[in-house]
Amino acid sequence: LMTPDSRLMTPASWPLTPLYYCQSLGEQGRPPLRTSLRPLGRHSSNNPCVSAPRNEGLCDIIAGVIRVRLFFSLTIDAKTRKILAALSWRMQQKITARAAWVKEENLHITTKFLGEVDSTTIDDLSVISRRVTERIAPFILTIDRIDAFPSLATPRVIWVGGKGPPQFIELVDRLERELERLGFPAEQRRPIPHITMARIKGRREQDIEEKIRAISLPDALQVEVSQLTLNKSRLTSKGPIYTPLLELPLTG
């Protein structure tokens, strides 16, 4: 896909750094003029990208500006991901509703979904996320329940999680305040630390609540949280592919 006076590298060759996607647009591949930091949702009525050509959901190109799909998460260690993957397999044996189950390598603690934003915003996101992580110390999150959004009776998202420790609440609150300064809307709901296991796609099962309640969690499942990650999400026919752009340790 080409834009006027620019050459776009193929998705496979794109680097992790946010600046060098287009050539002949400006210094270091930046568009000559910095665009607004206002985030536009994928299906927003004021998003000109909705009707534009898409490349597997990764980004849109509007007037030479790359748009990428981003979210913040807290990293889960490999051992815990394996335990959760085994739990996911047991859940899939009981729940027969059509669902998209999260792959082991994609399991994460949800922090903030940003949607599709200008790639030039990544510099600003780096600055504010460092301000957040410098004030928060590593902490332990205990996974003690299986639940669903909006409810177990009518689940659209099945997740595991626990009560948010003070450090988690403080981290999310600080991140929300910093993002609000960049124009991202703040969440109105109190944050719940959770790891998405599945998204229900089809009609729900008649007795799905009972099936979910019957699934037991491993005893004393604890996650040591020590890193905030900014991820790029690329949607494909085989599921999303996540690429970390920033990995920042909690150093408070």
Q: CATH no. for residue 243?
A: 3.90.1140.10
pTM score of the predicted model: 0.74
Residue 74 has pLDDT above 70, yes or no: yes
Can you give the pLDDT at residue 190? 84
Give pLDDT tens digits for 80-127: 999 999 999 999 999 989 999 999 999 999 899 999 999 889 999 999
The Cα diameter of the chain in Å comes to 59
Q: Provide the Cα torsion 173, 40, 189, 82; round to 10°.
A: -80
Angle (CA) 69-163-195 rounded to 5° is 35
Can you give the pLDDT at residue 41? 42
Angle (CA) 15-16-22 rounded to 5° is 50
Q: What is the mean pLDDT of residues 204-227?
A: 89
Query: Is 175 part of any domain?
Result: yes
Query: Is 23 part of any domain?
Result: no
Instruction: Look up tokens 């000559």; give the residue.
Output: 32
Query: Is 44 part of any domain?
Result: no
Query: Which two structure tokens, joined as six digits, stand for 181?
Result: 């300064």
Distance CA 117, CA 66 (A): 8
Contact 180, 112 (CB under 8 A): no
Distance CA 32, CA 24 (A): 10
What percentage of residues in the chain have a pLDDT greater than 70? 74
Query: Is 32 part of any domain?
Result: no
Query: Is 37 part of any domain?
Result: no
Instruction: Look up tokens 């690329």; give the residue.
Output: 234
Residue 185 has pLDDT above 50, yes or no: yes
Can you give the pLDDT at residue 112? 96
Query: Is 25 part of any domain?
Result: no
Angle (CA) 94-96-102 rounded to 5° is 85
> What range defines the domain where residue 189 resides?
70-249
Query: Is 238 part of any domain?
Result: yes
Distance CA 57, CA 69 (A): 8
Provide the CA 213 distance to its chain's centre, in angstroms: 27
Total domains in the chain come to: 1
Query: Which two structure tokens, joined as six digits, stand for 89?
Result: 């397999």
Can you give the pLDDT at residue 205? 81
Q: Are strands 227-234 and 241-249 parallel, antiparallel or unpaired?
A: antiparallel
